Structure 1
Amino acid sequence: MRAIEFQEYGAPEVLQVVEAEALEPGPGQVSIQVAYAGVNFADLKARAEGYRVEALPYRPGLEVSGRIRALGEGVEGLSVGQRVAALTDAGAYAEVVVADAVTVFPLPQGVDLRTGATLPTVLPTAYALVHTVGRLGAGETVLVQGAAGGIGTAAGQLARAAGAGAVYGVVSDGGKAKHALGHGYDEVFAGTDAGFFADEVRAATGGRGVDLVLDPVGGDTLRAGLASLAPFGRLVSFGNASGEDPWTVGQPELYPRGLTVSGFSIIALAGSAPSEFRALAERAFATVVDGAVRLPVTAEFDLADAAEAHRLMGTRKSVGKLLLRVGGEGEGTM
């Protein structure tokens, strides 16, 4: 089989196509003939700085769609040839991938393989940020950093469907703002200086601030998000795209206005509480079936062009979801 791996950290060109034997599933696992693989910012951090990489060489990729190739011992409720989406610990940039059965989901009727590859990380993350961790209530206001990305696109729609009083987004330029405005946002603030949006949020909310902030950036952006919260507001951190030192927060920031800060990682949840992950993901996937959320694929690359996908995402100019086409809709021959 073909796979993408890197043997050293660096720029996108360290991603190389290799030939390898197809993996076989162990107990409680399935192997999947991959149709599409999702591209996520975590993949770029793995390639550039070793995020979650235990050893080299390393095959990146966290999510796939395709057809089940083989079942490991003890797997029930799945069958060979079945169309599925799956969250993987690594290695999704390949023609065959192995995943724990608990992270493998049959695709609902009407959801094609291309759409399926957009679901495993983005949608459960966005759903948890809005509902499970963020606990957005009807009439409350929310501010989403990275509003034009995959998670931001889903979070805006989920917040709107949840009855948010107002949905605000933060992006880096006008093109991204236009994209976000088509996916649930009432107003989107565009700029590149960390924390530029805090004054604009106060102005938009009559000085009150927002009830919920969703932040994948960290650093000064997170601190500006805290400053944008209304009394008793909540901030959920779900990444550190800024690369700044890990944030800390304590009594001086939280006590005066009764603020709450929490964190979330879909990968960590899948590893530590797989049954909770599965229940969350099933609720999230239902929002696609009922039409509450659609996740646009804005760019698609052949597997061999994974480096180009990383270059595009690395420019911070991309919107929506990026995919690698491995087998495509015709995939599934065993």
Structure 2
Amino acid sequence: MRAIEFPEYGGPEVLRLVEVPVPRPGPGEVAVDVSWAGVNFADVKARAEGYRVDALPYRPGLEVSGHVRALGDGVEGLDVGQEVAALVGGGAYADVVVARAESVFPLPEGLDLRTAATLPTVLPTAHALVHEVGRLRAGESVLVHGAAGGIGTAVGQLARAAGAGAVYGVASTDAKAAYALKHGYDEVFRPETFDEDVRRVTGGRGVDLVLDPVGGDTLRRGLGVLAVFGRLVSFGNAGGGAPWQVGQPELYGQGHAVAGFSVLGLAQTAPAAARALTERALRAVSEGAVSLPVTAEFSLAEASEAHRLLGGRTSTGKLLLRVRD
């Protein structure tokens, strides 16, 4: 079968299309014939700097949609040929992947395979940021960094559906800002001035919830725009800054709280909770509360072009690899 891997860290050109043996599922596992694979910034970080890579060569990719190819011993509730979406620990850029059964989800009625490939990482993350971790209440305000990305696109819609009083975004260009404004955002600010802008539009009050995938100085500035009893959720370190720390002086005075979230971490440490979260998130799609537009698609052999686009920070929405028609 075909797969994409990289033998060394570097730019998009290190991605290689290779022929490898077809994997077989072990006990508690499911093999999936891949139709579509999602492309995420975590894949770019893996290729460029070894994020979550345990050994080289490495096959990137975290999410797929397709048909069940084979079931390992002990797997129940799935059938060969069934349409599914799956979260995998790596190797999604391939004709066939193997995933743990608890991370494989039958598609809800009306959900097509192309759309389903956008969901396994993005939608549970967005749902958790708004509800389980961010605990957004009706009437509260939220600030979302990366508002035009896949997660940002979903968060804007979910926050609006949850009754947010104001949904503010941060995006780096006019084009990204215009895109975000179509997906639930009231106003979109620039990274350089977002803290000043938040204070201006809120009359100095600040926002109730900040969602931050950037880290570093951006995260520290985000703490500064929290309202009394506000919460900040960190869900990435796209800026590549040094690990951050926050303590009593920053939190005690106004009752601030800081939390973190990773859907991959949750899937590894609490798979039952990750499955329940994903099922709740998928219902939001089937009920029409949120949609995830695919803004670009590439063939499997064009994976390097997908990485070049995503790594250039000019893309919006969700990028996919078309593995088979």
Q: Which residue of 2 is the match for residue 198 of structure 1?
A: 195
TM-score (norm 2): 0.99
Question: Is the Cα–Cα contact under 8 Å of residues 174 and 190 in structure 1 kept in the other structure?
Answer: no
Amino acid at match of 2:282: F
Please state how far the C-alpha of 1:239 moved relative to its aligned partner: 0.2
Which deviations, in whole Å up to 9, do the C-alpha atoms of 1:170-203 show, x marking residues without a partner? 0001100000000000111134x3xx21010011
Which deviations, in whole Å up to 9, do the C-alpha atoms of 1:207-235 show, x marking residues without a partner? 10000000000001001110110011000
Task: Please tell me the root mean square deviation across aligned C-alpha atoms, in Å.
Answer: 0.6
The CA distance in 1 between the partners of 2:250 and 2:194, in whole Å, is 18
Q: Which residue of 2 is the match for residue 326 of structure 1?
A: 323
The CA distance in 2 between the partners of 1:43 and 1:315, in whole Å, is 13
Which deviations, in whole Å up to 9, do the C-alpha atoms of 1:96-146 show, x marking residues without a partner? 000000000000111000000000000000000000000000000000000
The CA distance in 2 between the partners of 1:312 and 1:256, in whole Å, is 43
Q: Which residue of 1 is the match for residue 236 of structure 2?
A: 239
Q: Which residue of 1 is the match for residue 159 of structure 2?
A: 159
Amino acid at match of 2:85: A
The 5 Å alignment of 1:240-279 reads 240-279=237-276
Which of 302, 310, 314 aligns to 1:313? It is 310
Please state how far the C-alpha of 1:94 moved relative to its aligned partner: 0.1
Please state how far the C-alpha of 1:6 moved relative to its aligned partner: 0.4
Q: Indicate yes or no: 2:294 matched with 1:297.
A: yes
Q: Which residue of 1 is the match for residue 138 of structure 2?
A: 138
Amino acid at match of 1:265: S
Question: Is the Cα–Cα contact under 8 Å of residues 216 and 239 in structure 1 kept in the other structure?
Answer: yes
Report how many residues are paired.
Answer: 325
Question: Is the Cα–Cα contact under 8 Å of residues 88 and 99 in structure 1 kept in the other structure?
Answer: yes
Identity %: 72
Which deviations, in whole Å up to 9, do the C-alpha atoms of 1:253-309 show, x marking residues without a partner? 111111000000000000000000000000001011010000000000000000000
The 5 Å alignment of 1:72-221 reads 72-191=72-191, 193=192, 196-221=193-218
The CA distance in 2 between the partners of 1:309 and 1:96, in whole Å, is 20
SS in 1 for 2:33: strand
The CA distance in 2 between the partners of 1:274 and 1:47, in whole Å, is 26
Q: Which residue of 1 is the match for residue 36 of structure 2?
A: 36
SS in 1 for 2:249: helix
Please state how far the C-alpha of 1:251 moved relative to its aligned partner: 1.1
Which deviations, in whole Å up to 9, do the C-alpha atoms of 1:47-95 show, x marking residues without a partner? 0011111001100000000000000000000000000000000000000
Unaligned stretches of 5+ residues in structure 2: none
Q: Indicate yes or no: 2:278 matched with 1:281.
A: yes
The 5 Å alignment of 1:4-43 reads 4-43=4-43
SS in 1 for 2:9: coil
Unaligned stretches of 5+ residues in structure 1: 329-334
Amino acid at match of 1:220: D
